[in-house]
Amino acid sequence: MVCYQSERFYYLFGITKKGDQDYLLLERTERGSSTTLATAPIRTDNPVTLQVAANGDEYRFRYSIDGETFHTLGAPVSGDILSTDVAGGFTGNLIGLHATTKNDAKID
């Protein structure tokens, strides 16, 4: 999933692979520079539900492996980079799906 203001300002939340292990990933891109905020190993042999919850300027990126109990990946983050005040433009924040074959996420 992506919370997107522009190609230079967004949060990316999803599943990536390193070696044989799948990981949840939360990444912040500000001014075109990406920083990994949180990762967690996860099994993907069953469905994983992803959720974005926002309260004002605070965003939480949550996941569930049973479809009922949700856990927050990392700490709550500021939605400041999604605002037109910080990122410019006029469209505001968009939330949607994201897929890529480029896998340059930094997993420790």
Mean pLDDT for the chain?
87
Q: State residue 84's pLDDT score.
A: 66
CATH of the domain at 61: 2.60.120.200
- pTM of this structure: 0.85
Mean pLDDT on 5-19? 91
* Residue at 103 is within a domain: no
* Residue 38 and residue 26 in contact, taking contact as beta carbons nearer than 8 Å: yes
* Residue at 7 is within a domain: yes
Confidence of residue 90 (pLDDT cuts 50, 70, 90): low
* Residue at 107 is within a domain: no
Q: How many domains does the chain have?
A: 1
Angle at 50 between CA 31 and CA 83, to 5 degrees: 30
* Residue at 42 is within a domain: yes
Long-range contacts of 63-69 (CB under 8 A, 24+ apart): 63/24
Q: pLDDT over 70 for what percent of the chain?
A: 85
* Residue at 104 is within a domain: no
Mean pLDDT on 26-55? 94
Question: Which two tokens mark 56?
Answer: 């004002």
Confidence of residue 15 (pLDDT cuts 50, 70, 90): very high
Question: Which two tokens mark 7?
Answer: 């190609």
- Structural domain of residue 76, as residue ranges? 2-96
* Residue at 108 is within a domain: no
* Residue 60 and residue 76 in contact, taking contact as beta carbons nearer than 8 Å: yes
